[in-house]
Homo-oligomer: A and B are copies of this chain.
Amino acid sequence: MSHSQSSTLAAAAEDRLRREIFDGQLPPGTRLAEAAEARRLGVSRVPVREAFAALERDGLLEFTETGRTVVKKLTPQDFEELFALRLLLEPSAARAAFPLSQKHRLLLEENLSATRNAKTLDEVTRLDLEFHQLIVAASGNARLLKLWRSLRSELELWLGYLHRQHRDQDLNTRVGTAGSHEEILLCFQTRSAPACEKLMREHILGWREWLPLSDENPSK
């Protein structure tokens, strides 16, 4: 664990494992053992154990009945669940976030500006999720934000898989996402809470639409 800004070894281990799972270095189904990962990461089993626990509650790992730890396999069914929950949570969050506070308006504008300047697909994806999270945060319901964040890791995992499978096509469709976000922010500034809710709903439905799904999936 040579360099990492995390204050605790457990957090550093969690970050690293999370990244390795996202990057596909630890494909779904991989069995992880505390001792082995501890050796590999150069720490003892205790921080690794805590990292496993954290990643499990984020849905990236899975504990079997017998205590084994496995990188979770995501099925199209899993994705449909995530989609259904976004469709449930985010429009409501948008409605509650209206009207936007000065602070959150600025944060969203910064996000859009960063998105316009983004160079890589991963960066655009991260900013995309960040935009949505900002709106959930703006709703003022801390627990709602917590629920959303608990879905975020799995979402990122899915998007990562999809990007690796359709590296070419996504870059174009991504432009649409950014424009859609600008439209949403404009809606917050010029229209009503129900309008924002409706627009967010349509945005997520559209997002579901252009995602290439169910032809190939990373599980099994």
Using a CB–CB cutoff of 8 Å, the interface residues on chain A facing chain B are: 46, 50, 53, 57, 59, 78, 81-82, 84-85, 88-89, 92, 96, 141-144, 146-147, 150-151
Contacts and interface: CB of A to CB of B under 8 A. Distances in A.
A143 B53 contact: no
B147 A81 contact: no
A96 B83 CA distance: 14
A88 B88 contact: yes
Q: Which 3 pairs across A and B sit closest by C-beta, in order of nearness?
A: A81-B143, A147-B147, A81-B141
Contacts of A82: 143
A217 B84 CA distance: 35
Contacts of A147: 85, 147, 150
Contact of A53 (B50, B78, B96, B146): B50
A147 B81 CA distance: 12
Contacts of A150: 146-147, 150
Contacts of A84: 96, 141, 144
A151 to B, nearest CB: 7
A46 B143 CA distance: 28
Nearest to A67: B8
Given A147-B150, A150-B150, A151-B143, A88 B85 contact: no
Given A82-B143, A84-B96, 5 more contacts: A57-B57, A59-B143, A78-B143, A84-B144, A88-B92
